[in-house]
Structure 1
């Protein structure tokens, strides 16, 4: 069904573009009484069709139709097909050749761009895989080492030492759990055909759920919350948007050195809900801002006496989720210090349903 819809759309593009060219040529010929621009206009039309439609077929079809339309309406005898006159034949051959070349070059450029995009995507995946491999190895080594030490030498450790080692195992296990959740989300969302099932979500309930889950992880970290007093409903996959908010808040706690304030603000403008997470920490190096959602961004954090590379997996997941929702996400440094993550979701006018 989707292929049929796409095919109909491409056919309509051809008809609309060539019809516009046809009408424009009639107007210009009427005004200037000159057919010099007609071929150029139809070449432009074929180029537009080639850009707006995939593959070669639609471009070639529009080229053939252009030749027929020019011969029918703008070559002698007017408004009749005639391919017996030498001048008409030469004009048709030249127009067909130019339009076919235009179509071919456009398709070739698009194909090369697609190949380059695929290469960049594969390179990013490879970098991501290397970073993830390192990220997973470090906490697993810590968990294995601590648990083995406790099993083999339990009697040699004091209660305080045992609690400290168990705390390290627990924290590294939670970190691994979050990493696996994010990787699973990337796997599910890493598809152009992904379809998010949105449900009407009450904003207050979403924020309450996020705060409860965040407080379990960081009971000593306060969050200043500012949300509308009005009853706000936003269509979304609530679990995925929760993950976005928790990932960004988690990123602030882990990496915003010197942070003393963490704020979560939500407000509405027109038919959009805008979420902001702001901290007053060290900010993000300007050179890293453009790559922060790519999965290639790397920072160093210390947890449980071990250094772990955070490859920006969580932020890459955030970008994928927001993109799948049809929204946009960005980050910028604040002039007063720290940074602000901001993402936007489209709202539904429930009164018009």
Structure 2
């Protein structure tokens, strides 16, 4: 299906360029009486067609059509074919050469770009696997260790100690579940033709659902919320945008050492709703800013707050989801201290 779409697109493009070249030549002849520009204009059209279309077919077709057009409409006797003239063979040779050389060069460039893109994708996947292996090892080791201690020393452990270890196992399990959810989202959205199904979502309902889920995980963490008073509807995949907001809030809890304020704010600018999550914690280290949304962060040391370092995975998910919605996730350090993450979504506009 994709190849058919490309074929139709290239055919339409070739027809338009050829028609424009033909019309320009007619106009120049009628208005200026200049004949020498005819072959050059057709050669330019062939070059543009060969440059923008896939393969050799459309470039060669355009060159042959140009030869017929020059012979029929711009060579005496007019509006009649006469291929006896040597100019016709020379024009055909030149135009075919331009088409073949340009198509060959363009094809090679596209193949190189494809190989480069595939290489970058493989590198990103390898980095992601390294990040996953690092981030999953810690909770799995903790779960295994706690379970082993309870099995081997069950009678010696006091009940409070057993409850404490079970609570640690539960927290690690919950963390693993969230990590798997993030990875599934990356897998779902990390294709070339990503399309999310957008449905109108009321902003207030989105924020309420997000905070409800977040407070179940972090009941002791207050969040200051600021949203417009007016009714706002935004086309989106509500579950995915909820995950973005939860991940951003959760990253602040896990990584913003010294944080005392966490804010989720939304404001409007023309046709867009701007979402902002910010804190007054330690901010983002400069060496991490460049790779913040790539899905892999170098684990050069323990996090500032001693929590697991899953920031790279979560923010990669957020960035992928926002890109699929046509936006861009941005991060910066606040001048007054702390970090700020923001993205924008197009609002549903009233046609009336």
User: What TM-score do the two structures reach when normalised by structure 2?
Assistant: 0.89
The separation in 1 between residues aligned to 2:2 and 2:115, in whole angstroms, is 24
The separation in 2 between residues aligned to 1:164 and 1:33, in whole angstroms, is 94
- Return the offset for 1:303: 11
Partner of 2:271: 271
Give yes or no for contact 1:49–1:62 (8 Å, CA) kept in 2.
Answer: yes
Q: Which segment drifts farther, 31-40 or 261-270?
A: 31-40
Q: Deviations over 1:262-302 (max 9, x none)?
A: 22121222332221212233333444333322212345555
Partner of 1:19: 19
Q: Deviations over 1:136-168 (max 9, x none)?
A: 122111101011112221332334433332232
The separation in 2 between residues aligned to 1:280 and 1:58, in whole angstroms, is 59
Q: Structure 1 residues 194 and 23 mapped into 2: Cα distance closer, same or farther (>3 Å)?
A: same
Partner of 1:86: 86
Counterparts of residues 53-202 of structure 1 (less than 5 Å):
53-202=53-202
Partner of 1:292: 292
- Return the offset for 1:92: 1.8
Residue 349 in structure 1 maps to residue 349 in structure 2: yes
Give yes or no for contact 1:194–1:324 (8 Å, CA) kept in 2.
Answer: yes
Structure 1 stretches lacking a partner, 5+ long: none
- Return the offset for 1:35: 4.3
Give yes or no for contact 1:63–1:100 (8 Å, CA) kept in 2.
Answer: no
Residue 317 in structure 1 maps to residue 351 in structure 2: no
Residue 241 in structure 1 maps to residue 249 in structure 2: no
Q: Structure 1 residues 259 and 75 mapped into 2: Cα distance closer, same or farther (>3 Å)?
A: farther
Aligned residue for 1:312, secondary structure, equals helix
Give yes or no for contact 2:46–2:59 (8 Å, CA) kept in 1.
Answer: yes
- Return the offset for 1:217: 1.4
The separation in 2 between residues aligned to 1:39 and 1:274, in whole angstroms, is 53
Q: Structure 1 residues 244 and 252 mapped into 2: Cα distance closer, same or farther (>3 Å)?
A: same
Q: Structure 1 residues 256 and 30 mapped into 2: Cα distance closer, same or farther (>3 Å)?
A: farther
Q: Which segment drifts farther, 266-275 or 169-178?
A: 266-275
Q: Structure 1 residues 298 and 72 mapped into 2: Cα distance closer, same or farther (>3 Å)?
A: farther
The separation in 1 between residues aligned to 2:46 and 2:248, in whole angstroms, is 46
Residue 223 in structure 1 maps to residue 223 in structure 2: yes
- Return the offset for 1:40: 4.1
Aligned residue for 2:155, secondary structure, equals helix
Q: Deviations over 1:150-201 (max 9, x none)?
A: 2221332334433332232122111111110011111111222343222111
The separation in 2 between residues aligned to 1:257 and 1:84, in whole angstroms, is 84
The separation in 1 between residues aligned to 2:159 and 2:303, in whole angstroms, is 24
- Return the offset for 1:36: 4.5
Give yes or no for contact 1:329–1:343 (8 Å, CA) kept in 2.
Answer: yes
The separation in 2 between residues aligned to 1:247 and 1:59, in whole angstroms, is 50
The separation in 2 between residues aligned to 1:118 and 1:222, in whole angstroms, is 44
The separation in 1 between residues aligned to 2:39 and 2:315, in whole angstroms, is 51
Q: Deviations over 1:6-39 (max 9, x none)?
A: 4333222111222222333334455554445444
Give yes or no for contact 2:271–2:346 (8 Å, CA) kept in 1.
Answer: yes
The separation in 2 between residues aligned to 1:65 and 1:292, in whole angstroms, is 52
CA-based RMSD: 2.6
Q: Structure 1 residues 320 and 71 mapped into 2: Cα distance closer, same or farther (>3 Å)?
A: farther
The separation in 1 between residues aligned to 2:284 and 2:145, in whole angstroms, is 34
Give yes or no for contact 2:201–2:235 (8 Å, CA) kept in 1.
Answer: yes
Q: Structure 1 residues 61 and 199 mapped into 2: Cα distance closer, same or farther (>3 Å)?
A: same
The separation in 1 between residues aligned to 2:228 and 2:262, in whole angstroms, is 18
The separation in 2 between residues aligned to 1:250 and 1:17, in whole angstroms, is 53
- Return the offset for 1:135: 1.6
Q: Structure 1 residues 179 and 58 mapped into 2: Cα distance closer, same or farther (>3 Å)?
A: farther
Give yes or no for contact 1:46–1:103 (8 Å, CA) kept in 2.
Answer: no
